[in-house]
């Protein structure tokens, strides 16, 4: 069975490895309720003063420990050894399968509800690794920003070059008309020849740009098709 909303609330702030372990144990152990997870230092001091805890160096303060209680039929709770031990055993077995080192209060002989991560394997000051922090079902984080599509799209670049070629063709036509009008106005053959030569150069440039754009677009689409990517 899955954990109750109260148990899930108690896991708030608990080390992600212990959180994952508790959820896995809930699927295999007899019903139980997580009564406490992470505690404040003030809360721990109150428990020590009330003689319900023996130390201020509790793993609850750092989120490395939880307490549980058995839940019987009808929602009744029990701290009896006969009910607590099978759940503690499930924590031991599932932790071993998952490669998680834990310490159980029941092994101390006086704190059967207590489960904590091994102090040597999970020191209080260490930050959990990303592989530990992400539950198995959690998808990997998406990149912060999408890549710029321009460097990857031959179609886009081809369109840009084609547009430039079109602009050059328009400029060429306008310039040719202007040159022809100027040549007629000048009525000097050397000037006319020079102006005609300039017009031919402009036509060659614009034609070259147009052909280059067409070849580039076709080659990028062929390559994209071979790689199974959009052109």
Tell me the pLDDT of the chain (231 aa) as tens digits. 789 999 999 999 999 999 999 999 999 999 999 999 999 999 999 999 999 888 898 999 999 999 999 999 999 999 999 999 999 999 999 999 999 999 999 999 889 999 999 999 999 876 554 334 434 433 333 333 334 443 444 444 455 545 555 555 555 555 555 445 444 444 444 444 444 454 455 455 555 566 655 556 556 665 555 555 444
Judgement on whether residues 80 and 188 belong to the same structural domain of the protein: no
How many domains is the chain built from?
Answer: 2
Q: Which domain holds residue 202?
A: 150-227
Judgement on whether residues 126 and 181 belong to the same structural domain of the protein: no
Which of 77, 106, 133 is the endpoint of a domain? 133
Which of 78, 99, 133 is the endpoint of a domain? 133
Judgement on whether residues 111 and 57 belong to the same structural domain of the protein: yes
Judgement on whether residues 128 and 187 belong to the same structural domain of the protein: no
User: What's the rounded Cα separation, in Å, for the pair 82 and 88?
Assistant: 11
Question: Which pairs with CB-CB distance under 8 Å and at least 24 residues apart come from 101-109?
Answer: 102/21
User: What's the rounded Cα separation, in Å, for the pair 5 and 26?
Assistant: 13
Judgement on whether residues 81 and 157 belong to the same structural domain of the protein: no
Which of 133, 168, 201 is the endpoint of a domain? 133
Answer whether residue 138 is part of any domain.
no
Answer whether residue 141 is part of any domain.
no
Instruction: Compute φ and ψ for 203, nearest 5 degrees.
Output: -60, -40
């Amino acid at each position: 069975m899955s954990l109750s909303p109260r148990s899930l609330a108690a896991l708030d702030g608990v080390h992600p490895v212990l959180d994952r372990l508790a959820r896995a144990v809930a699927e295999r152990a007899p019903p139980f309720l997580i009564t406490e997870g992470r505690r404040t230092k003030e809360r721990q001091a109150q428990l020590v003063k009330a003689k319900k805890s023996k130390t201020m160096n509790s793993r609850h303060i750092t989120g490395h420990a939880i307490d549980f209680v058995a839940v019987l039929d009808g929602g009744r709770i029990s701290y009896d050894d006969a009910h607590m031990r099978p759940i503690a055993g499930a924590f031991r077995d599932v932790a071993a399968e998952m490669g998680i080192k834990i310490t159980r209060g029941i092994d101390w002989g006086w704190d059967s509800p207590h489960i904590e991560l091994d102090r040597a394997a999970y020191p209080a000051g260490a930050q959990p690794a990303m592989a530990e922090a992400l539950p198995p079902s959690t998808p990997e984080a998406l990149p912060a920003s999408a890549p710029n599509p321009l460097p990857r799209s031959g179609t886009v670049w081809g369109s840009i070059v084609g547009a430039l070629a079109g602009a050059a063709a328009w400029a060429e036509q306008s310039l040719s008309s202007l040159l022809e009008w100027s040549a007629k106005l000048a009525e000097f053959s050397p000037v006319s020849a020079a102006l005609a030569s300039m017009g031919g150069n402009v036509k060659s440039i614009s034609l070259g740009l147009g052909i280059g754009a067409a070849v580039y677009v076709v080659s990028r689409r062929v390559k994209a098709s071979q790689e199974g990517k959009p052109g």
